[in-house]
Chain A
Amino acid sequence: MADSPEEIKKHVKLYMLIGVILFICTVLTVAVAKIEWLDFGARGFDAIDMVIGLLIASVKATLVALIFMHLNHEKKMIYWLFGMGIFFGICLMVITGFAFSDPIYYEDFFGR
């Protein structure tokens, strides 16, 4: 935790930089979705667009969490508390998403 005023002053520039990066990333997300020659994969929205979009969002979120929310130098306890939330949140999302998944009905399941 940067508590002394000198250290905090040093961080101001970092905060500005992160802000600028966040703005650029936002423009990038829209550009990837809207501009035709930046559209990877097939035309329109597809899996690659999803991965790219979520990747940029994750980068942004990580920056906010690490720098603005000071997670880059936080106590171990906080990592545990917040980490559990993230972990179980992902559990819920993934397992719910697989709700109807049924591998034996996949045609190539038995190597056909």
Chain B
Amino acid sequence: MSDHHDDHHDHHNPGFIQKYIFSTDHKMIGIQYGITALLFLLFGFYLMMVMRWSIAYPTEPLPAWMSWLFTEDWKAQWLSEGKLPGETYNMFGAMHGTIMVFLGIVPLGFGAFGNYVTPLQIGAPDMAFPKLNMMSYWIYLLGGLMMCGSFFLESGAAKSGWTNYPPLSFFADSQYPHQFWTGQTQWLIGLVLLITSSLLGSVNFITTIINLRAKGLTWMRLPFLVWAMLVTAFLLLLAFPPLEVAGIMQVVDRMFGSSFFQPSGLYHQQIGLSDASGGGSPLLYQHLFWFLGHPEVYVLLLPAIACVAEIIPVNTRRPIWGYKSMVYGVLVLGFLSFIVWAHHMYMTGMGPAVSAFFQTTTTLISIPSVILLTCLLISLWGGSIKFTPPMLWACAFLPMFGIGGLTGLPLAFNLVDLHLHDTYYVIGHFHYVVAPGILFGFFAGIHHWFPKLTGRYMSRTLNHLHFWPSLILMNTLFFPMLIQGMAGFHRRWYNGGDAYLTADPDSVNVFGKTVAEYIDLNIMMSWSAWLLCAAQIPFVINLFGSIKFGRKTNSDNPWNACSLEWATPTPPGHGNFIEEPVAYRGSYEYARPEVEEDFYPQWKKPVTDENKED
């Protein structure tokens, strides 16, 4: 760094805008990603709370604390007598899914943790292409704002589910003459922008990981997080372009009237015979969508499981169990995730040959997932576990993700899927994976790396206030979904089953009676959701309060961890490391006999016999 001091004047004293807004520093970009993603998550959560009102109390108007965000005109257009009509519910549902997946979890995991931690862990001064990194953040923000801004358009936001299946999405908003300024088109263009941003990001990540590793940091010495980010980046790189294509095709369908996804003779009850040439197929869209959609699941999951894999060894003070099998597991997982996509499409009328193929690969992919989880579980065995805040979250992650994963197995078989498809069972399954699973992993990560960002710990008390209610409420929220789903509750009922219910015990409507039996679970779930929101308040206070008032750390390596990010000053300056780091050993060297302490950091020169004598 000091060699080039003269060439790079004012590199170290950038102005406010360059430092905090148009920053090219991976750490600042990581923080930007993190805060933006958390805000989007909050907004997505809000949409869901409104939806849960309509599910629990379909005949009652929204309470004032829920509808305060809506303007008068908006209420007039999108609420009917204060209640959520089906169309508005669909809009909220579609945007809830989109925001949570594309604008919340992916940027939080890959964007925030990936950007902040990966270069530090491989001992790199920054990402390989800092400007590209900045660009991918801004494109992401633009795409996200386009999607969310469409709530204020005349047409409202997108309303065809987060998957945006045609021909449903083709008819939605098709009546507006300015096709560009409709929620559906904005959604598609926003999506294309988000994918572009992810592509730039993933090119950057892979290049950084391949080429910018510190001296001595060989492939098998990499922390598991770096491996997970590498695989995630490959998934983004190769799985996202087909959806980008599908998005572009849908834009062409909408704006230039083509029929990529419109079959011949398409008819709509209100609009009549569609004014399109026909000859296309909705199945094509589903193929292109789910080619992204399944790897996307692992894009969500891998960063979270990686955070947990970093936290468990630190807090058990012993090496991670089966590091190599985890690495190979994650590689196999990445590979297989490309060829399982059509298990989302058993009900589309695909041929049985294709179904059988995907059934096989889908059951195969559970093997590497189980390997990862098992390794993490066994890592706990015999360790001296310290229940620090990150460890609490990490420990909760394991069973929660376990439930999420195991409830997915039945869905892999197309016979079982016939019954469970599109029911609350599916919702329960993937929410178990994403909410108490992945999000818990991220909370763990936030607590774990917060001292590196600020030099202060986050509060333990507030964390308990956040953790325990969250853990309980997540389960009271999502477990009833599994039960309802098996009873046949459809995932898109905007009134929670009210329309199907039969209160009369003598009725011959068997399904109506089943609905009546399980409908009251809705109330418990909805209250869980609203209380869950309240349970996040300690977290917000903790996150922002600890920056100023948190307990100070006493060293650059407060957790006594081994990986390279703890060798930097706190917080790391521009260029990260003061002197070029060298990795002498693997990143989980705890409880080694060579050294006195119970950890042997990667960057410490080996203790040779001569050194010992000194």
Contacts and interface: CB of A to CB of B under 8 A. Distances in A.
Q: Do chains A and B touch in the complex (CB under 8 A)?
A: yes
Interface of A: 77, 81, 84-85, 88, 91-92, 95-96, 98-104
A102 B238 contact: no
B339 A91 contact: yes
A91 B351 contact: no
A77 B234 CA distance: 14
Nearest to A92: B291
18 contacts: A84-B234, A85-B238, A88-B239, A88-B338, A91-B338, A92-B287, A96-B284, A96-B287, A98-B353, A98-B354, A99-B284, A99-B354, A100-B351, A101-B353, A102-B351, A102-B353, A103-B352, A104-B352
A104 B339 CA distance: 23
Contacts of A101: 351, 353-354
B280 to A, nearest CB: 13
Contacts of A104: 352
Given A91-B338, A92-B291, A99 B351 contact: yes
- Specify which of A84, A88, A95, A103 lies most central, judged by the most chain B CB atoms within 10 Å of its CB: A88
If over half of B's interface residues share one DSSP class (helix, strand or loop), that class is named, otherwise mixed; here it is: helix
B210 interface: yes
B284 A103 contact: no
B242 interface: yes
A75 B234 CA distance: 19
B377 interface: no
Interface in B548-594: none
B473 interface: no
Interface string B341-353: 0100000011111
B342 A95 contact: yes
B364 to A, nearest CB: 15
Interface residues of B, number: 21
B520 to A, nearest CB: 42
A98 B287 CA distance: 11
Nearest to A101: B351
Interface of B: 206, 210, 234, 238-239, 242, 283-284, 287-288, 291, 338-339, 342, 349-354, 357
A17 B206 CA distance: 36
A85 B352 CA distance: 27
Contact of B238 (A77, A88, A98): A88
A31 B287 CA distance: 36
Nearest to A102: B351
- Specify which of B210, B238, B283 lies most central, judged by the most chain A CB atoms within 10 Å of its CB: B238
A81 B233 CA distance: 12
Nearest to A81: B206
Contact of A99 (B210, B291, B350): B350
B351 A98 contact: yes
Contacts of A100: 283, 349-351
A85 B342 CA distance: 19
A95 B338 contact: no
Q: 7 smallest A-B Cβ distances: which pairs?
A: A102-B351, A101-B351, A96-B287, A100-B351, A101-B353, A88-B238, A88-B338
A84 B210 contact: no
Contacts of A88: 238-239, 338
A77 B353 contact: no
A52 B288 CA distance: 28
A85 B236 CA distance: 12
Contacts of A92: 242, 287, 291
- Specify which of B210, B284, B288, B338 lies most central, judged by the most chain A CB atoms within 10 Å of its CB: B338
Nearest to A89: B238
Contacts of B287: 92, 95-96, 99
Nearest to B338: A88
Contacts of B357: 95
Contacts of B342: 95
A95 B242 contact: no
Nearest to B242: A92
A103 B354 contact: no
Contacts of A96: 284, 287-288
B343 to A, nearest CB: 12
Contacts of B283: 99-100
B353 A103 contact: yes
A103 B283 CA distance: 19
- Specify which of B288, B350, B351 lies most central, judged by the most chain A CB atoms within 10 Å of its CB: B351
A92 B289 CA distance: 11
A84 B354 contact: no
Contacts of B239: 88
B234 A102 contact: no
A95 B354 contact: yes
B210 A77 contact: yes
B321 to A, nearest CB: 29
B348 to A, nearest CB: 9
B243 to A, nearest CB: 11
A79 to B, nearest CB: 14
Contacts of A98: 351, 353-354
